[in-house]
Structure 1
Amino acid sequence: MKKNTKRLLFSGLALSMLVLLSGCVNVKNGQPTGTVWNVLGVPMANLITFFAKNQGLGFGVAIILVTIIVRLIILPLGLYQSYKASYQAEKMNYLKPIFEPINERIRNATTQEEKMAAQTELMQAQREAGVSMFGGMGCLPLLIQMPFFSAIFVATRYTAGVSEATFLGMDLGKQNLILVLIIAALYYVQSWLSLQAAPEAQRSQMKTMTYTMPLVMLFMSISLPASVALYWFVGGIFSIIQQLITTYIMKPRLRQRVEEEYKKNPPRVSTPKRRKDVTQKPKNTNQAAISQQHKKRNAGKQKKRKK
């Protein structure tokens, strides 16, 4: 899959996050319903109420604590997904000298047939080198995480008492611009860290993505109450922690692992035989005209002989 396509898919995923979060839990007449809410959302809402009222910590601290618990539970899944994606990215970077000539032929193809042939060659080369065309980003870890995100998202908004509570002078039932700007800044830091993990050749192409997630979070948070924004604030801190682990711990080890793997077992990428051009080329116009004249002359000579 091309890098531009991956970026487009990532942007679409980020922009549709709010729809996915609210889609896993149905809200009817101001009350959440559905299997995800009953299984995950209700225990989270009860835990928020327990910390806020029974322990006397208030709803702001309760939301922070429950968000931390939920994020700690799903953190291994997020790290696993980052591990798989980073492993494939390091393979792609190591094998770039092999793939780049094929990518160059794809970019410079003048016909659809040439482009398709080069794309087929690239897919075959990636398969033989043990590289996933989708970057190793499986959907299963994300699908497992989504119900948790959806449940905590709805719990922070619809738990009884949250909308009337305050935290550090913030009305949790209303929007708070300062908290929204802090969230945008956190996700900018997370995007900047992910940019540092990318190879030098790709950084210039990925710079626009540095601003995509912060802007998405800005527009999503600005229309929601501070209770939800508080959940995203904690989530932003966890995203930074996960990105730090990926960038400075996971990727260097994976880079070393990939180098050792390919040194022991060098990649054997076979180049498929190109099909010969069997199309009949048109004859030179001058030659065709000359042969036509010869035919006319021969025909004239034959008529004279008959007479």
Structure 2
Amino acid sequence: METTKKSVFTFVKKYSVILGVLCLLILTGCQSATGTVDANSEGFFTHYFVYPFSELIKSIAGIFNDNYGLSIIIITLVIRLLLMPFFLKQMKSSIQMKEKMNVMKPDMDTLKEKYDGKTDAESRTKMQQEMMQLYQKHNMNPLASLAGCLPMIIQLPILIGFYYAIRQTPEIGTHSFLWFDLGQSDIPLTIIAVIIYFAQFKVSQMNMDPKMKQQMAIMGIISPVMIGIFSLTAPAALPLYWTVGGLFLLVQTFISRKIYTNEK
């Protein structure tokens, strides 16, 4: 039971960013945004998340001569910058937890060996008690890993709100940016988005145990594939948004891992 809990917590804390991407894609892919959004749109989420983002997109685009592509990039970067402190706190906590687990490992192995093969209720109870004592000895809370869910929970309504604002702001689809029309799907941009999210996954594996890398290898395929599928059927404004956000996450993850893994 304890082993199962540990595996779940480890999975969550190491992959909360990727899980957030998957949740975002699943939620946005399961529904189709139709129509437009305005001040009279009904629904709490639409009124307080989608509509303000739609107005913000149009306002910033207006500043730059109706450049909606640039507007999407600016807002995406601002959102990611605002969420960065949560991400960095999660990253630091994750690395500190890993270091504590490495220190605890010899004692944990000894404890498991002591109760190996003992399946009666009394032995399991004693093992759990001794394990809790071990956690207290090393000043570690096994439930602390759940804090890794916080950044994902915070960012989802923001990112989903921005997603629907892009979908329900018709002005975007009538403009172009760089080589593509924002209202039409674009294969080169889709390929770039897929590559960036695959690279982001690889960077997230830096300094990870080989066994964990092998167990989570499927995640390196699922996220880019889903990005690609949705991008091929969506207006280019959306893969632009995903590309910029993914590139920011790539750089952020790389830098933070370099900083915190070298920090003593």
Category of TM-score, reference length = shorter chain: 0.7 to 0.9
Q: Is 1:161 aligned to residue 171 of structure 2? A: yes
State the TM-score, normalized to the length of structure 2. Answer: 0.78
Contact 1:85 1:137 in 2 (8 A): no
Aligned length: 252
Contact 2:50 2:164 in 1 (8 A): yes
- Aligned to 2:244, the other structure's residue is in SS state helix
Contact 1:183 1:236 in 2 (8 A): yes
Tell me the residue number matched to 1:294.
none
- Once the two structures are superposed, what CA deviation does each residue of 1:78-136 show, in whole Å capped at 9, x if it has no partner? 22222222221221123222223445678x64747599458624454234422232453
Structure 1 unaligned spans of 5+: 257-307
Give the whole-Å Cα distance in 2 for the aligned partners of 1:13 and 1:114: 40
Contact 1:22 1:150 in 2 (8 A): no
- Correspondent of 1:210 among 220, 233, 255: 220
Q: Is 1:86 aligned to residue 98 of structure 2? A: no
Alpha carbons of 1:94 and 1:205: their partners in 2 closer, same or farther (altered >3 Å)?
farther
Give the whole-Å Cα distance in 1 for the aligned partners of 2:229 and 2:136: 40
* Stretches of 4+ aligned residues off by more than 6 angstroms: none
Tell me the residue number matched to 1:194.
204
Give the whole-Å Cα distance in 2 for the aligned partners of 1:239 and 1:102: 39
State the TM-score, normalized to the length of structure 1. Answer: 0.68
Contact 1:185 1:214 in 2 (8 A): yes
Give the whole-Å Cα distance in 2 for the aligned partners of 1:137 and 1:237: 26
- Aligned to 2:142, the other structure's residue is in SS state coil
- Aligned to 1:159, the other structure's residue is in SS state coil
Q: Where does 1:219-230 land on structure 2 (aligned, <5 Å)?
A: 219-230=229-240
Aligned-residue CA RMSD (Å): 3.4
- Aligned to 1:196, the other structure's residue is in SS state coil
Structure 1 residue 192, shift from structure 2 partner: 1.0
Identity of aligned residues (%): 26
Q: Return the letter of the residue paired with 2:180.
A: M
Alpha carbons of 1:216 and 1:84: their partners in 2 closer, same or farther (altered >3 Å)?
farther
Larger radius of gyration: 1
- Once the two structures are superposed, what CA deviation does each residue of 1:137-178 show, in whole Å capped at 9, x if it has no partner? 414333222222122111222123112222223222232222
Structure 2 unaligned spans of 5+: none
Tell me the residue number matched to 2:23.
16
